[in-house]
Amino acid sequence: MSKVVVITGASGGIGAALARQLGAKGHSLVLAARREAELKKVAAESGKGALAVVADVTRRADVVRLRDEALKAFGHIDVWVNNAGRGITRNVLELTDEDVDTIVAVNVKSALYGMQAIVPHFKERGGGQLINVSSFLGRIPLASVRSVYSAAKAALNSLTANLRMELRAQPGIKISLVMPGVVSTDFAANALGAVPGGWSGAANYRSQTADEVATLIAGLLENPVAELYTQGPQQKEMAVRYLQDPVAFEESMAAPPRNR
């Protein structure tokens, strides 16, 4: 069944891949990003009638306008995907106030504005689906160089879980948290303080394409789950191991590799 889907951060990476896949399936799309030319190109590739809304989702007024333009165009919204995000290549002791403010605005406040804009509409309709795209780094400190990005995604994880608890009495509203690992996009290159070649530690972990992650997110429209680790059981097992004993996990990560 065709649904009306709003996707933020849709001008590239996972957001663009998701738009193309959902458009091919006949869903009605409202796509948002700051980069107008890139956004319109993705909209043109995402099925007839995909609506491009140039917006800076770190501004509450822009997020409200995005919702209102979607409602004006289609009358209702079935799915809202908070996908906008930005990384950073900076250790904790190197962070500036501007670094923290920028990363929190893009990764936390933009999603919060989306939640606050769309959930009242879902309540009025008696149902809807919210998908927050986070990161595995929001659960496990695998990359110190991602510092405040990891902290921001941890905050998003917590906000998502608390919203789900808040809406327990309204089972028609589905809330999903998506935690990708390493994804082959321009994300690292566009990170604050980016270095040529991106984060060197990425080579130690299996990478996914944006299309692979988008396919898993698209599957949530038919089969919603509370949390999705895009790299499957291995990721979840690592998360469980970390949560059971963070100190032991950190010590194991810091230990040098054994000789063979």
Supply φ then ψ for residue 229, to 5 degrees: -90, 115
Give bridge partners of residue 80 from the DSSP assignment.
6, 130
pLDDT digit string (tens) for the chain, length 260 residues: 899 999 999 999 999 999 999 999 999 999 999 999 999 999 999 988 999 999 999 999 999 999 999 999 999 999 999 999 999 999 999 999 999 999 999 999 999 999 999 999 999 999 999 999 999 999 999 989 999 999 999 999 999 999 999 999 999 999 999 999 988 766 555 566 655 545 445 445 678 999 999 999 999 999 999 999 999 999 999 999 999 999 999 888 876 544 43
Q: Is residue 152 part of a domain?
A: yes
Query: Structure pTM?
Result: 0.91
From residue 242, give the alpha-carbon distance in Å to each of 136, 177, 206: 12, 18, 19
The catalytically annotated residue of 113, 149, 229, 242 is 149
Q: Is residue 169 part of a domain?
A: yes
Domain extent for 80: 4-254
Q: Is residue 156 part of a domain?
A: yes
CA of residue 246 relative to chain centroid, distance:
24
For residue 169, count CB atoms less than 10 angstroms from its CB and return exposed for 0-12, middle for 13-18, buried for 19 or more.
Answer: exposed
Q: Is 205 a catalytic residue?
A: no
Q: Is residue 245 part of a domain?
A: yes
Q: Residue 135: give its domain's CATH number.
A: 3.40.50.720
Q: What is the number of domains present in the chain?
A: 1
Q: Is residue 259 part of a domain?
A: no
Tell me the HSE value of 105 on the side-chain side, using a 13 A CA sphere. Answer: 11
